[in-house]
Amino acid sequence: MNIIKQISLLALGAILMTGCKDTSKDGNIETETTTDTTATDTTMVKETAANLEKASFKIEGMSCAIGCAKVIESKLAGLDGVENATVNFDTKEATVSFDPAKQNKEKLVKTVEGIADGAYKVSDKS
């Protein structure tokens, strides 16, 4: 019984020693403080042009709303100069608002047709 107590004390001591290990470089234990981070990250904000153009076109080859339409929508929305992009799976139509100084309709079409090794075809461009 005495041996069991000694082993238990050693195990408890080892757990406490490793659990309270000081990982700071200067030997001082730092405490975490939380701060309010409500400031806007300006690197993620897109610039809006005063004269946005709008392009609409049909996309053939989509087989589902999530795997196809949402992927195309996110690729278009991620392009430089694109303010907004929506792809409607039911109507097979994409609508994109973009800054003509940074983007053009031909690049939008090339982007869509370049997704999934050319599985999508664009028609009825306006």
Question: pTM of the predicted model, to two decimals?
Answer: 0.60
- CA–CA distances in Å: residue 118 to residues 5, 61, 62, 109, 126: 72, 9, 11, 11, 21
Q: Is 82 helix (H, G, I), strand (E, B) or coil?
A: strand
- Across 18-47, average pLDDT: 47
Which residues are bridge partners to 26 per DSSP? none
pLDDT digit string (tens) for 97-124? 999 999 999 999 999 999 998 999 999 8
Domains annotated on the chain, with CATH: 49-123 (3.30.70.100)
